[in-house]
Structures are given as structure tokens and as C-alpha cells.
Amino acid sequence: MKDFDSILNIWNEQADNTPKVDYKELISRYKKSRNKFSAKIWIELIWMVLAACTIGYLWATLSFNTWTTHIAMFIFELCCFYYIYTQIKNLKTLNNDSLLETPEKHIDYIEGFRKERFQQNTRNYYVYTVALALALGLYFIEFFNHVNTITLVLAVAFSVTWFALCTFFIRVVYIRKEERRFNELIAELERLKKQFANQEN
């Protein structure tokens, strides 16, 4: 039978249990990963800003015949700005220093972040795709005036199929999967948070 002091002696004898990482490796890894990460975010942002500018330019310079196209352009612009806003918000959230807070607060923060991401990937994404589909539909009203019947039927059929597939199949499967992962994660975080709650248990 050993008591805690004997266990403590065993703990203190572990001389060879050392990390296999050098501080220089860490610095170079940080520099590489930081550049890669910011480059990815910047590329996505630049593409979306370019898209918003192009749509804005076309909207301002081309003369459209129907009012529906103007609404379509407006919705396209809104979608672009929503995407840019979300990316910047995510970037800011990721750079938050909650790791320096107490475990309870850090877990709280991670929980909030996960909830927000879940909402972004499910409800908000659905609204985003519906808005894009609506804008596309409104734009088609003008577009159809300039094309023949076959092209018109093909374009409508393709758009309706794509939208139906996204809404009734991909989205349903995706949300189910996300929901399961989300619930498991939140339960796990709640369990961990309770362990650090400031109460005797």
C-alpha cells in the first residue's frame, strides 16, 4: 500500500519524460501557419470584395429594362456584404484571447462561438441561399427576354433542380449531421464547465 507522498516520489523521478519539441521549431511553425491562415482569409475576402464591386459596376453602368433586375442586383450585393461581414466577424472571434481567461469563462466562450457557428451554418446559410435563388430568379425575368425558349426552359429547369436538391436533400442531411455534432459538443462543454464551477461538489 502506498500513500500520496510515495506517489509524489514516483512523479518526481520521471526525469526522461520530456517534450520532443524545440523552441525554434515552434517559432518557425507559428510564422508559417500565421501566414498561411491570413493568406486564406485575405484571398476569400478579396474575391468577395471583387465580386461585390463587379456587381456594383454592372448595376451602375448597364441599363436594365425591368425593375426586378434592380432588386436582384440589390440582393446580390447584400449577399456579398453578408459574406464579407461573416468572414471578418469569424476572424475577429478566432483571434480572441479567451485562452487567457479562467477555464469556466473559456468554455463559456467556446460554447458561444460554437452556437454562433451552428446558426451560421444552418439557419443563416439557408437564408443566404434562398436570397441568392430569389435574386437569380428575379434576374432571369430580364434575361429570358433575350433568349430563345429552349435556353429559357433549360435555365429554369436547372435552377429549380439545383435549388430543390440543396433544400430538400443536401441541407437536410447536413443539418442533421451538424445538429448531432453540435449537441454532442455542447453537452461535453457543459460537463467540463460544471467541473470548474465554483461550488463544492
Partner 1 sequence: MSQKEQIFKEIFQANSKKIYRLCFGYTNDEDSANDLMQETFLKVWQNLDKFRNQAMISTWIYRIAVNTCLTYLKTEKRQAKDELTPNIIENKAEETSEKQEQIKTLYNCIAQLEENERLLITLVMDEVPYPEIAEISGISEGNLRVKIHRIKHKLTELFNKHERL
Integer angstrom CA distances of residue 147 from 54, 106, 119, 175: 23, 57, 39, 37
Q: Does 21 bind partner 1 (CB under 8 A)?
A: yes
Is 117 or 171 the residue whose CB approaches partner 1 more closely?
117
Whole-angstrom distance, CA of residue 83 vs CA of residue 125 = 10
Q: Does 196 bind partner 1 (CB under 8 A)?
A: yes
CB-based contact 87:41 (threshold 8 Å): yes
Binding segment toward partner 1, per CB under 8 A, in 71-79, 122-130, 146-154, 180-188: 180-188
Is 72 or 107 the residue whose CB approaches partner 1 more closely?
107
- For helices 171-195 and 103-119, give the axis angle rounded to 10 degrees: 170
Binding segment toward partner 1, per CB under 8 A, in 46-54, 94-102, 154-162, 169-177: 94-102
Q: Does 179 bind partner 1 (CB under 8 A)?
A: no
The residue type of 31 is K
Q: Does 13 bind partner 1 (CB under 8 A)?
A: yes
Q: Does 100 bind partner 1 (CB under 8 A)?
A: yes
In angstroms, how far apart are the furthest CA atoms of the chain? Answer: 90
Contact pattern from residue 28 through residue 57 relative to partner 1, giving x for each residue in contact according to CB under 8 A and a dash for the rest: -xx--x------------------------
140: left (phi over 0), alpha (psi -120 to 50) or beta: alpha
Q: Does 200 bind partner 1 (CB under 8 A)?
A: yes
> What Rg do the C-alpha atoms of the chain give, in angstroms?
26
Q: Does 110 bind partner 1 (CB under 8 A)?
A: yes
Is 68 or 93 the residue whose CB approaches partner 1 more closely?
93
List Cβ neighbours of 76 (8 Å cut-off, separation of 6 or more): 55, 132, 135
Report the residue from 23, 146, 150, 168 that binds partner 1 according to the rule CB under 8 A.
23
Whole-angstrom distance, CA of residue 201 vs CA of residue 186 = 21
Q: Residues 112 to 171: which contact partner 1 by CB under 8 A?
A: none
Q: Which of 119, 130, 122, 43 has its CA nearest to residue 79? A: 130
Total number of residues binding partner 1 (CB under 8 A)?
43
Residues that bind partner 1 (CB under 8 A): 1-4, 7-8, 10-14, 17-21, 23, 26-27, 29-30, 33, 97-107, 110, 184-185, 188, 192, 195-196, 198-200
